[in-house]
Amino acid sequence: MKIDWEKLIAAARRARRNAYAPYSRYTVGAAALAKSGEIYTGCNVENAAYPSAMCAERVAIYKGASAGERAFVALAVVTSNLGSPCGACRQVLSEFAADDAAIVLALARGKRRKKFSMKQILPDRFGPKNLK
Protein backbone atom coordinates (compact mmCIF):
# COMPACT_ATOMS: atom_id res chain seq x y z
CA MET A 1 0.00 0.00 0.00
CA LYS A 2 1.33 3.43 -0.96
CA ILE A 3 1.30 5.74 2.04
CA ASP A 4 0.49 9.42 1.53
CA TRP A 5 2.61 10.76 4.37
CA GLU A 6 1.60 14.38 3.77
CA LYS A 7 -2.08 13.46 4.18
CA LEU A 8 -1.41 11.32 7.25
CA ILE A 9 0.75 13.95 8.94
CA ALA A 10 -1.81 16.68 8.14
CA ALA A 11 -4.50 14.56 9.83
CA ALA A 12 -2.28 14.15 12.91
CA ARG A 13 -1.62 17.90 12.99
CA ARG A 14 -5.37 18.60 12.89
CA ALA A 15 -5.99 16.07 15.67
CA ARG A 16 -3.30 17.72 17.80
CA ARG A 17 -5.36 20.92 17.89
CA ASN A 18 -7.94 19.06 20.00
CA ALA A 19 -5.46 17.81 22.59
CA TYR A 20 -6.43 18.36 26.19
CA ALA A 21 -3.15 18.92 28.02
CA PRO A 22 -3.72 21.50 30.79
CA TYR A 23 -1.07 19.93 33.06
CA SER A 24 1.89 19.09 30.83
CA ARG A 25 1.06 21.52 28.01
CA TYR A 26 2.57 18.83 25.75
CA THR A 27 0.09 18.32 22.93
CA VAL A 28 0.23 15.30 20.64
CA GLY A 29 -1.72 14.31 17.55
CA ALA A 30 -1.72 10.94 15.87
CA ALA A 31 -3.15 9.47 12.69
CA ALA A 32 -3.27 5.71 12.12
CA LEU A 33 -3.68 4.32 8.61
CA ALA A 34 -5.61 1.06 8.59
CA LYS A 35 -5.03 -1.63 6.00
CA SER A 36 -8.53 -0.77 4.71
CA GLY A 37 -7.28 2.71 3.75
CA GLU A 38 -9.22 4.51 6.48
CA ILE A 39 -7.44 7.03 8.70
CA TYR A 40 -8.20 7.24 12.42
CA THR A 41 -6.99 10.20 14.44
CA GLY A 42 -6.38 10.83 18.10
CA CYS A 43 -5.04 13.42 20.49
CA ASN A 44 -3.73 13.13 24.02
CA VAL A 45 -6.26 13.66 26.80
CA GLU A 46 -4.88 14.41 30.25
CA ASN A 47 -6.64 14.05 33.59
CA ALA A 48 -6.04 15.48 37.05
CA ALA A 49 -5.63 11.85 38.16
CA TYR A 50 -2.55 11.44 35.96
CA PRO A 51 -2.74 7.67 35.35
CA SER A 52 -6.19 8.19 33.81
CA ALA A 53 -4.71 10.15 30.89
CA MET A 54 -4.55 8.65 27.40
CA CYS A 55 -1.95 9.14 24.67
CA ALA A 56 -2.87 10.25 21.16
CA GLU A 57 -1.47 7.10 19.57
CA ARG A 58 -3.69 4.80 21.63
CA VAL A 59 -6.74 6.98 21.04
CA ALA A 60 -6.22 6.65 17.27
CA ILE A 61 -5.65 2.88 17.41
CA TYR A 62 -8.61 2.32 19.73
CA LYS A 63 -10.87 4.40 17.46
CA GLY A 64 -9.89 2.19 14.56
CA ALA A 65 -10.26 -1.01 16.55
CA SER A 66 -13.70 0.07 17.78
CA ALA A 67 -14.69 0.58 14.13
CA GLY A 68 -13.64 -2.99 13.35
CA GLU A 69 -10.10 -2.44 12.06
CA ARG A 70 -7.61 -5.15 12.95
CA ALA A 71 -4.57 -4.15 10.87
CA PHE A 72 -2.70 -0.85 10.67
CA VAL A 73 0.06 -0.13 8.18
CA ALA A 74 1.26 3.31 9.29
CA LEU A 75 1.15 5.79 12.14
CA ALA A 76 2.03 9.49 12.08
CA VAL A 77 2.72 11.22 15.40
CA VAL A 78 2.99 15.02 15.60
CA THR A 79 4.61 16.83 18.54
CA SER A 80 6.57 20.02 19.13
CA ASN A 81 9.88 18.14 19.38
CA LEU A 82 9.63 14.74 17.60
CA GLY A 83 8.63 12.97 20.81
CA SER A 84 8.44 9.22 20.36
CA PRO A 85 5.52 6.96 21.41
CA CYS A 86 5.70 5.65 24.96
CA GLY A 87 6.08 1.96 25.71
CA ALA A 88 2.35 1.42 26.25
CA CYS A 89 1.56 2.98 22.86
CA ARG A 90 4.19 0.84 21.17
CA GLN A 91 2.72 -2.30 22.71
CA VAL A 92 -0.85 -1.38 21.69
CA LEU A 93 0.26 -0.60 18.13
CA SER A 94 2.14 -3.90 17.99
CA GLU A 95 -1.14 -5.75 18.58
CA PHE A 96 -2.44 -4.48 15.23
CA ALA A 97 0.70 -3.77 13.16
CA ALA A 98 3.10 -6.03 11.29
CA ASP A 99 6.88 -5.72 11.69
CA ASP A 100 7.07 -3.58 8.54
CA ALA A 101 4.38 -1.08 9.60
CA ALA A 102 5.79 2.44 9.36
CA ILE A 103 5.85 5.02 12.13
CA VAL A 104 6.75 8.62 11.35
CA LEU A 105 7.40 11.32 13.93
CA ALA A 106 6.81 14.83 12.59
CA LEU A 107 7.10 18.32 13.97
CA ALA A 108 3.99 20.40 14.54
CA ARG A 109 5.75 23.11 12.53
CA GLY A 110 8.48 22.38 10.06
CA LYS A 111 9.53 19.50 7.85
CA ARG A 112 11.87 17.50 10.10
CA ARG A 113 10.81 13.87 10.51
CA LYS A 114 12.00 10.54 11.85
CA LYS A 115 10.84 7.24 10.41
CA PHE A 116 10.86 3.78 12.00
CA SER A 117 9.37 0.38 11.36
CA MET A 118 7.35 -1.42 14.02
CA LYS A 119 10.22 -3.89 14.38
CA GLN A 120 12.70 -1.06 14.98
CA ILE A 121 10.56 0.76 17.51
CA LEU A 122 9.66 -2.40 19.47
CA PRO A 123 12.12 -5.23 18.72
CA ASP A 124 11.38 -8.71 20.05
CA ARG A 125 7.89 -7.62 20.93
CA PHE A 126 5.40 -9.72 22.85
CA GLY A 127 2.24 -10.24 20.84
CA PRO A 128 -0.55 -12.57 19.81
CA LYS A 129 1.91 -15.10 18.34
CA ASN A 130 3.43 -15.57 21.80
CA LEU A 131 0.11 -16.77 23.17
CA LYS A 132 -0.31 -19.65 20.69
d(CA 32, CA 67): 13
Cα-based distances in Å from 96 to 5, 21, 49, 105, 129: 19, 27, 28, 19, 12
Bridge partners (DSSP) of residue 117 are 102
Identify whether 46 is a catalytic site residue. Answer: no
Catalytic residue among 38, 46, 57, 95: 57
Active site residues: 57
